[in-house]
Structure 1
Amino acid sequence: MYSTLLIVVVILAIVFDYINGFHDAANSIATVVSTKVLTPFQAVLWAAIFNFAAYFVFTDHKVANTIAKTVIEHYITLHVILAGLIAAIVWNLFTWWHGIPSSSSHTLIGGFAGAGMTNAFFLGSSPIAAVNLIPIIKIVSFIVLAPVIGLVISVAITLLIINICKNARPAVAERWFKRLQLLSSAALSFFHGGNDAQKVMGIIATALIAQKVIPDFAAMPNWVPIACYSAISLGTMSGGWKIVKTMGTKITKVNALEGVAAESAGAVTLAITEHFGIPVSTTHTITGSIVGVGLVKSVSAVRWGVTVSLIWAWVLTIPISALLAGIIYGVMHFFIK
């Protein structure tokens, strides 16, 4: 029932999920580490626990279903999925090594779509015919919308907190916000797990359907979500310290109050998008939220040079991943029969 190639695809998908965890660990822990509320080890352990806790709540798998539908079924083969995963892993490791907080989600989506489009080309069809434009348009539009929503919510939360606490003693307020940051960090980790683990679930389910192991997405076996949530949680525990530095200090300096606001805004944004089954980048979301708390202080409090560099990485991730996957699939097409 499980061919050797299918087993390889499943293993690589879980490896990607693990890499996603340590690549995106910074999203959940950067502010809580930079404010010294938790040590790095405590922070990744805290984040990993809530990454996995999402397994017990997000049972509708809306995001996974969206991912599974990004490429038209006629153009999906195990080689397409394999090429997409290899490309996604390569780009994720490259950006992690250079401390660039790019989107693991968009890397996976770009790789899957790029390999599918290349397969369509070899089959004599238009490459565009291989992709389902409705989910692709949603995903691409939220490259812009997710950080903007995070930014707006973080500005609103920061201003609300400042107004409520304007008469509080600074030392008392700082102590309380450090406690609250444990909750906001947990919430962000929880929704990060719920959003990102589902993306790999969608890929594995697609592979099982392509191999006719299961008839449709609804028949996805329970070991798939368990494996995906476990992998991303273990990856988070491995940390991603180069990216933590970028997220926690290079965009803007964050105190405990601002950490609560940024993490809460990120969690709310992820909750909204998960409800509608939209696969968004947690990296983009929390970056927008951190920029938002910086803007409340002043425009100059945000290091715009760093922010612009991050935006370039966001814009290029999908096309580079797609191109890389297309090349890998092309090599497979000619040399692996």
Structure 2
Amino acid sequence: MELALVLLVIAIALTFDFTNGFHDAANAIATSVSTRALTPRAALLLAAVMNLVGALLGTGVAETIGSGIVDAPPGISGLALVLSGLLGAITWNLITWWRGLPSSSSHALIGGLTGAGIASMATVHWSVIWDKVVIPMVASPLVGFALAYAIMVAVLWIFRNAAPGRTQRRFRVAQTVSAAAMALGHGLQDAQKTMGVIVLALVAGGLHEGTDIPLWVKLAAAGAISLGTYAGGWRIMRTLGRKIIELDPARGFVAESVASSVLYTTAFVFHAPISTTHTITSAIMGVGATRRASAVRWGMARNIGVAWLLTIPASAAVAAVLYLVLSIFV
């Protein structure tokens, strides 16, 4: 029974990873596609490959998810906790994907694990959630917005006398690099979260000890998120690429460069599972605000903000209910 449940949890975790890929594909490629720096098919292929590479570059975020959020008890109850957390996150991912809102898959997963942990009366590490989830959740969008605004102002000043057409063409080429960097950061952050959940399930099922990530887990998570990315996320891509602000290549390049640098810093230095969605969206708003405040469609930004605020409690609530239902049968 336990082995079957472990296999089910792994399958659901990889399904979450796949939905993360198509839900968050827009994070890396929306700006490049909207500025016509890349065709949609080329952008999706680039994002899929770089997600795969990024997923294999580190394990710090995976270890935070696997052992830092909640202590899953051994046996069936622990596996039910992990399964409920995953299903809660997938449910919220699908709802926000359907609505075309770029919410955070990372926060959906963390909310799901937290809600299931509370329902199961397991140990929830609130200090870790505060330090590595709540604070970065607030700080990363602020940093992304401020850095993108400041760097865009500097770019506008540096190229103030340059020929606009030639400059934009050069930035369109540069966006190939910045889009690849963004996709690499997405794989570095988001695929590792699935790795952490699979290890959490393996430990609960008595099949693994410690927090190290087996190679097969890395490869499975990397492959799933890459396949999901290549499946595409056109609804959310339209939101990021067009509905917040009409981007030009220079602003797209700056937004992607800033967002990817924030992702690398938090993954390698702080091992914090931040939201790629929050980071790139706020960076897009930052570069847009340099044009004029009214250039940013703040109504759409407000809708996105509401989705951000609801993500953790909504996925936690769904996961808690699912755990209570599952505990009746397992």
Partner of 1:253: 246
The one-letter amino acid paired with 2:258 is A
Q: Distance in 1 between matches of 2:306 and 2:85?
A: 22
Match 1:262 to one of 250, 255, 261: 255
Q: Distance in 2 between matches of 1:243 and 1:142?
A: 23
Residue 109 (structure 1) shift:
0.7
Q: Distance in 2 between matches of 1:4 and 1:43?
A: 38
The one-letter amino acid paired with 1:88 is A
Deviates more, 1:286-295 or 1:146-155: 146-155
Partner of 1:178: 172
Partner of 1:118: 119
Q: Distance in 2 between matches of 1:62 and 1:77?
A: 22
Alignment of 1:273-288 (within 5 A): 273-275=266-268, 276-288=270-282
The one-letter amino acid paired with 1:299 is A
Partner of 2:91: 90
Q: Distance in 2 between matches of 1:333 and 1:22?
A: 31
The one-letter amino acid paired with 1:311 is G
Partner of 1:41: 41
Q: Which runs of 5+ in 2 are unaligned?
A: none
Distance 1:109 1:90, change over 3 A: same
Query: Is residue 85–residue 115 contact of structure 2 (8 Å, CA) maintained in 1?
Result: yes
SS in 1 for 2:70: coil
Say if 2:75 is the partner of 1:81. Answer: no
Residue 192 (structure 1) shift:
0.6
The one-character-per-residue Cα deviations of 1:271-313 (angstroms, maximum 9, x if unpaired) are: 1111210001100000110000011111111111110110110
Q: Distance in 2 between matches of 1:112 and 1:177?
A: 41
Alignment of 1:250-329 (within 5 A): 250-275=243-268, 276-329=270-323
The one-character-per-residue Cα deviations of 1:5-33 (angstroms, maximum 9, x if unpaired) are: 10000010001000000000011111101
Q: Distance in 2 between matches of 1:55 and 1:144?
A: 24
Q: Distance in 1 between matches of 2:292 and 2:22?
A: 32
Q: Distance in 1 between matches of 2:222 and 2:146?
A: 30
Match 2:61 to one of 63, 80, 85: 63
Say if 2:186 is the partner of 1:168. Answer: no
Residue 169 (structure 1) shift:
1.0
The one-letter amino acid paired with 2:71 is I
Distance 1:98 1:37, change over 3 A: same
Q: Which runs of 5+ in 1 are unaligned?
A: 121-128
Partner of 1:143: 137
Over aligned residue pairs, what C-alpha RMSD do you find? 1.4
Query: Is residue 103–residue 277 contact of structure 2 (8 Å, CA) maintained in 1?
Result: yes
Aligned residues: 325
Say if 2:15 is the partner of 1:22. Answer: no
Q: Distance in 2 between matches of 1:49 and 1:18?
A: 14
* TM-score scaled by length of structure 2: 0.96
SS in 2 for 1:319: helix
Partner of 1:193: 187
SS in 1 for 2:290: helix
Alignment of 1:174-253 (within 5 A): 174-218=168-212, 220-253=213-246
Q: Distance in 2 between matches of 1:293 and 1:165?
A: 15
* TM-score scaled by length of structure 1: 0.94
Q: Distance in 2 between matches of 1:272 and 1:66?
A: 15
Deviates more, 1:73-82 or 1:245-254: 73-82
Q: Distance in 2 between matches of 1:167 and 1:316?
A: 45
Q: Distance in 1 between matches of 2:123 and 2:114?
A: 8
Say if 2:31 is the partner of 1:31. Answer: yes
Q: Distance in 2 between matches of 1:2 and 1:263?
A: 43
Query: Is residue 2–residue 213 contact of structure 1 (8 Å, CA) maintained in 2?
Result: no
The one-letter amino acid paired with 2:223 is S
The one-letter amino acid paired with 2:282 is G
Residue 141 (structure 1) shift:
2.0
- Over the matched positions of the two proteins, sequence identity in percent amounts to 45
Residue 262 (structure 1) shift:
0.3
Partner of 1:107: 108
Query: Is residue 143–residue 314 contact of structure 1 (8 Å, CA) maintained in 2?
Result: no
Q: Distance in 2 between matches of 1:14 and 1:81?
A: 13
Q: Distance in 2 between matches of 1:183 and 1:47?
A: 11
